[in-house]
Structure 1
C-alpha cells in the first residue's frame, strides 16, 4: 500500500528510480525538451527543478552537489553555463509539461517536458525587459473622451483660427492676382469640335 507517499515510485526500486531520473534530467538539460510518459515527466519536474535552482549560483560547492545527482561532466558544464544564464531572472517554474495524448501500444499518457526559457513560441517579453512600458489592461471608455476632444477645438487652435483672417486683411494687396489657365484640349477633341461646327 502507498498510504501517505508524496511521490511516484514509478514501479522501481530506489536505485533504479534514481538512475532513471538522473538519465532523464541529463537528456532534458542536453536537448531542452524530451517526450516521455506523463508520470515520468511529473517525477522529473520534482527532481530537476531543485538542480536548476542550485545551478543559478555557480560555486564549486553547488557544482559538486549537482554532480552527485547527474554524474555527467558535459551536462554540468551546460547546466552551469548557458542554462543558468538563461534562467537567472526566473524565480522558479523552470519546466513546462504539455500532454500529448495516449501512446498507441499500451495507451500510456504521453507528455512533452521542456525548459520554459528555451521555447520562443510560448515565452512573452517581460515588460521593461527591453525598455518597453507596461500596457494598461483596463478599457475605461477612452473612446467617448477622444470623441469629445475632437468635437471641441482646443483654445490655442481657436485663437490661431481667429488671428488668421485678421492677418489676411492687414496684408497689402500688392500681389498680382493669379490667372487661371485653361488646359488645352487634346488634338482629337479639336477635330471633333471642328466637325460639329461644320455640321
Structure 2
C-alpha cells in the first residue's frame, strides 16, 4: 500500500531516482527534446518546470539554486565529434556552439565546452520570458520499447510548433496528404485550361456558320420563279386554243 509516500517511485531508490531526474532534465536542456517512457516523462516534468521558473528570475541566488538542484556539467561536446553525423548536429531550439569553442585533451577528454547552468540561464529561460508555465509537452510516438513493451513518448520544449516531426522529417500521413492535395490541384488546373481553350475556339467557328446560312437563302429565292413561268406559259396555250 502507498501509505504516506509522495510522488512516483519508479522502482528506484531516492538517490537513484534523483540522479535519473537530473540526467533527464540535462538531456532535455541540451537537445531540446528527448525520448523516454511515459512514467519517466510525467515524473520529470514538474522538476523541469520549476528549474525554468527559477532561471527566469535571472539572479545570482537563482543560479545557485539551479546548481544545487541540477548538477553542472559540460554539454554539446558532441558538436566537435567527427563520429556524429551532420544531420544530428542540427537543433531547431537554439543555436549550437561552434567546433572552435570545444576543445579536447590529447587523451580525448573534454577540456573546454559550454556549461549546463549557463546554458539554462542564457538560452532556455529567455525563450519563456512571456510564458507563465507549461514549458514542456509530451508527444506520443505510438511505439513501444523492446523487451518490456513500455510506451515511448517524446518530451520536448514548447515553442517550435511543427509537431512531433521536429527532428527534420515529415510523417507519412502528411506526405500522403500533400501528394493528394497537389494531384487535385493539378486536375483543377487542367479542367480550367480545357474550358478556356474551348471558349477561345468557339468564336473562330462562327464565320462558316454564316456562310452556310446564306447559301440556302439564295436557293429559296430562286426556286419559286420557275413554277410561275410555267403557269404563265400554260395559261397562254389555253387562250390560244379557245381563240
User: TM range, normalised to the smaller chain?
Assistant: 0.5 to 0.7
Where in structure 1 are there 5+ consecutive unaligned residues? 123-199
Q: Alignment partner for residue 77 of structure 1, among 118, 121, 141?
A: 118
State the distance in 2 between where 1:10 and 1:33 align.
Answer: 21
Per-residue CA shift, 1:89-145, capped at 9, x if unaligned? 01100000012232232110111000002x2315xxxxxxxxxxxxxxxxxxxxxxx
Where in structure 2 are there 5+ consecutive unaligned residues? 74-114, 164-243
State the distance in 2 between where 1:31 and 1:111 align.
Answer: 15
Match of 2:46 in 1: 46
After superposition, residues 1-199 of structure 1 pair within 5 angstroms as: 1-3=1-3, 5-73=5-73, 74-101=115-142, 102-117=144-159, 119-122=160-163
| CA gap 1:12/1:77 in 2 versus in 1, 3 angstroms | same
Superposed CA RMSD: 1.4
Q: What TM-score, normalized by structure 1, do the two folds share? A: 0.58
How many aligned residue pairs are there? Answer: 121
State the distance in 1 between where 2:5 and 2:138 align.
Answer: 22
- Counting helix residues as a fraction of each chain, which structure ranks higher? 2
State the distance in 2 between where 1:4 and 1:121 align.
Answer: 42
Report the secondary structure of 1:30's partner residue. helix
Q: What TM-score, normalized by structure 2, do the two folds share? A: 0.48
Which of the pair has more CA radius of gyration? 2
